Structure 1
Amino acid sequence: MCGIVGVVSQSPVNQLIYDSLLLLQHRGQDAAGIATADGNNFHMHKANGMVRDVFRTRNMRSLPGTVGIGQVRYPTAGSASSEEEAQPFYVNAPFGIILAHNGNLTNWPQLKDEMFRVDRRHINTNSDTEVLLNVFAHELQLASSGLELDPSALFKAVSGVHRRVRGSYAIVSLIAGYGLVGFRDPFGIRPLCIGKLETDHGTEWMLASESVALEGIGFEFVRDVLPGEAVFIDLEGNFHAQQCATNASLNPCIFELVYLARPDSVLDGVPVYNARLRMGDYLAEKIKRVLPADLKIDVVMPIPDSSRPAAMQVAAKLGVEYREGFFKNRYVGRTFIMPGQAVRKKSVRQKLNAMGIEFKGKNVLIVDDSIVRGTTSHEIVQMARHAGANKVIFASAAPPVKFPNVYGIDMPTRGELVAHGRTDDEVARMIGADYLVYQDVDALKNAVRDINPALKDFDASCFDGNYITGDVTSEYLDGVELARLAPAAQSDRDAASEAIDGGTARSQLHLQLSVE
């Protein structure tokens, strides 16, 4: 999960892209980058950190040009700590290409090897984005003839990318001297939308992960990029589009609507806020069916912010008072996208505070958008009990997360998922709740279809284990888990070594002081 944006304007774009990335900051807090094109020259600045920390006045002044792209990163492949893997990425041939990517390639290791052995291209990092950039560059070189590049050659190159690449990807890319390219994988797993702004000097265009990034800076939402479609906007603002994939079908990631996207965005014809309200309706019906009839619920409370719409609907449907019992510190990052269990656990207490007046002596129904690892849920239940709650009922607006997500969300190992291999009652005991109610998978899908009946299916792989790209096997998942666990094990060994060394050093220091 990352946030991407691309702009073709008649005036400098550095501030436009910066402002758009601020509106997409929820999609990634690990790193940020902006690249602009001034004639045939590229300018780029990227670094680890939040948008406001990465870009200073001097950095913005070094980004001239009327065409550009930007990205906020949340790492799912490669190293989260490596500044070299911040995006965008650049390759100098053909033409000069800069690219930013939202998603995750499932066959990037094979492609990396293929790039070296067959295409004779060197990949310098462990980022799947660099692999994707080089595949695109190679296909563009094959499709173009001579020194000129026309839209048909560009669309042919994107078709080549679709044939070779597997997984999820939404792309924005600059081609030196030509313009902005955007395309989406044939399943439309990750979102990408188109906006425009009519000015006295002509039409300006923007591509972005979410509609809020367009509308928040004054652009008009036009439509979503279709699955498998590529769009090309040249430097004069002329817009071209073409379907570049065979058998494309729309299967958007349903977890975007559950948690990832901002509530004021519209994804594939679905207002996110409305979808979350509808999830609350279905969840309330499930609560009525499964909880004991004699259990009195005094209040319904959300975990701010993404579960508020669902919680409001649950309260309304149950005829129970809705209250805000948790106060959120908005200056702590989202715990779901923080690396490491210890960091997440510590952050929950810094991020939320339970107000005792709302809990004391009450049977409290807490509604969250989802339960992934269970760490946050356990801490929240304990906070409610410490604040004086009589009983704590926990409800999830999403079904149990039982399977790894390999399409760009950081939940890749089964051992990290609290619901994997456990019953609902076992999960309830692990998080410390008196009762636990999960949304049903079909109910979640119906909640979205109620708003946009044209959506026939989704990527709901983390809930139902159905990987729509067709290339994710048990062996593949085993390999992903081994790759993820190996660095973690090495980190644990390094920490243990440091602790031993530190203990030895402290002993020596103590001995030295005693002797003196």
Structure 2
Amino acid sequence: MREEDVLKEECGVFGIYNNDSREDSGRIVYYGLFSLQHRGQESCGIAVMDDITVKQYKDMGLVPDVFNNEILDKLTGSIAIGHVRYSTAGGSIVQNAQPLVSRYLKGALAISHNGNLVNAHKLREQFENEGFIFQTSIDSEVIATIIARERVRQPSVEDAVSKMMEIVEGAYSLLVMSPKKLIACRDPHGFRPLCIGKLDNSYVVASESCALDAVGATFVRDVEPGEIVVIEETGIRSITTHCNKYNSSLCIFEFIYFARPDSRIDGMSVYEARKRAGRQLAKEHPVEGDIVIGVPDSGLVAAIGYAEESGIPYGMGLIKNRYIGRTFISPTQSKREDGVRVKLNALRENVEGKRVIMIDDSIVRGTTIKRLVKILRSAGAKEIHMRVTAPPFLWPCYYGTDVPSRDKLVAVNHSVEEIAKMSGLDSLGYLGLENLTNIAKGCKCNFCDSCFSGKYPTQIEIQNEEENINEVEIRKSPKFKIC
């Protein structure tokens, strides 16, 4: 199945400064990446610092397919970082896989980056005009180039990272590995999550807290927007020069779809946020039904919330084939249609003759809904009412989420009623934009909802490749409120 109507999960990063057993560093990162696989399925990699030598392995594919015991046995060292990737900027090729390793005047440097820069094109063009050579097509290499350049001028790698943060704009939760330090930083808006854990005498850093659990680490805290965390042999310290510059803007879709339900992000449980979204949908869009079902996987928890609020029983209505990855591709359109049935199948015993309320996280192009409705109708569903735990997508995202251009978003050109009719639904309801941020009430950060509202927290540079022009839309960031 070619998943044209499904959002992709940007990337995931994991790192460790190992004060216990350098022999285990590669394996610990492996298990961390395995738990972050939902954030990227195209490529993965691990880089380890062994004194002044960087050992690295990366390839296209899933974590358990790329790595084996023989490879992991060689990935030993005191510091290690890893990455799982879905390409939001740059092509899906092994050259663009991360971590990115650079060798320059001061030695070796490796980075793992989650997010997307909004001024990468302009910076890259500037560097190329100055004679710099780029080996990849990803914006992460722009970050690596700036850090390497500034490290030659600055007394420490953390000072170089701080200078980089003055130059780049956009979303980045970043791990930087130098011969003696592991550095973690989060952009001043805090678009993407990043947290710190303690594993015996070692420190780990990960995109989500579920990765800390996977390696047996204890959650310490989240990295604050704009913060630089330096981990070295003597311990851990924080640089807050870039904190409190802006109103924080954590991507609200982390709670709706991207993050695993067993993660906590900036003080808020993803599971509770999704259940709250389902409860809110039941209040906004009540409908009579016999069963509430969720579309696996991100719709399941919200369906529980909808059922609890409405009093309508929750049940399994769609069964997912766990052995088909998100990259499963069929050669023809007709086979792609069949692929939906291979990946998802209706549980006839639960839906036949019933009024089904189906909960999902989003509607992008509108193609997947038609296929789901067809599956449920074939299984005998009497009525199908769909409820969505997000508002309609009306604008593209420039911060690392693969929301397509406006002309491909079904909600831009069609009303809710038209989408329902086109999809074969009996009714359709979206979560109201005015209630969106209430689902993560209690989170210590504010949110970015630009893909729904069109209000971008930063200046956006839109590159039109066909006409070779740049359109710049300026939306000034509000002053800092909550960090």
Alignment CA distance shift 1:482-1:16 (3 Å): farther
Whether 1:193 aligns to 2:195 is yes
Whether 1:104 aligns to 2:116 is yes
CA distance in 2, matches of 1:351, 1:87: 29
Contact kept, 8 Å, 1:8 with 1:237, in 2: the verdict is: no
| 2:15 alignment partner in structure 1 | 6
CA distance in 2, matches of 1:175, 1:339: 43
Find the structure with the greater CA-based Rg: 1
Instruction: Give the CA deviation at 1:240.
Output: 1.6
Worse-matched range after superposition: 205-214 or 58-67: 58-67
Any idea what SS the aligned residue of 1:19 has?
helix
| 2:168 alignment partner in structure 1 | 165
Instruction: Give the CA deviation at 1:347.
Output: 4.0
Partner AA of 1:413 in structure 2: S
| 1:22 alignment partner in structure 2 | 34
Contact kept, 8 Å, 2:33 with 2:63, in 1: the verdict is: yes
Any idea what SS the aligned residue of 2:171 has?
strand
Which residue of 99, 103, 114 corresponds with 1:92?
103
Which residue of 138, 141, 147 corresponds with 2:152?
141
Whether 1:373 aligns to 2:375 is no
Q: How does 1:98-497 map to 2 (within 5 A)?
A: 98-118=110-130, 120-144=131-155, 149=156, 154-176=157-179, 178-198=180-200, 203-234=201-232, 236-245=233-242, 247-288=245-286, 296-334=288-326, 347-449=339-441, 451-452=442-443, 454-455=444-445, 457-472=446-461, 476=462, 479=464
CA deviations 1:248-273 (Å, max 9, x no partner) are: 44210000110000000001111100
Contact kept, 8 Å, 1:155 with 1:244, in 2: the verdict is: no
CA deviations 1:369-412 (Å, max 9, x no partner) are: 22122222221111111111111111101111111111111123
CA distance in 2, matches of 1:340, 1:371: 24
Contact kept, 8 Å, 2:197 with 2:203, in 1: the verdict is: yes
CA distance in 1, matches of 2:163, 2:332: 40
| 2:44 alignment partner in structure 1 | 32
Aligned length: 453
Instruction: Give the CA deviation at 1:175.
Output: 0.7
Partner AA of 2:167 in structure 1: R
Question: CA-atom RMSD, angstroms?
Answer: 2.1
Q: Which runs of 5+ in 2 are unaligned?
A: 1-9, 469-483
Worse-matched range after superposition: 316-325 or 34-43: 316-325
Instruction: Give the CA deviation at 1:334.
Output: 3.8
Contact kept, 8 Å, 1:402 with 1:421, in 2: the verdict is: no
Instruction: Give the CA deviation at 1:244.
Output: 3.4
Q: Which runs of 5+ in 1 are unaligned?
A: 484-516
Contact kept, 8 Å, 1:205 with 1:237, in 2: the verdict is: no
Partner AA of 1:88 in structure 2: P
Alignment CA distance shift 1:340-1:287 (3 Å): farther
| 1:50 alignment partner in structure 2 | 62
| TM-score between the two structures when normalised by the length of structure 1 | 0.84
Any idea what SS the aligned residue of 1:36 has?
strand
Identity across aligned pairs (percent)?
39
Higher relative contact order (CA 8 A, sep 6+): 2
| TM-score between the two structures when normalised by the length of structure 2 | 0.89
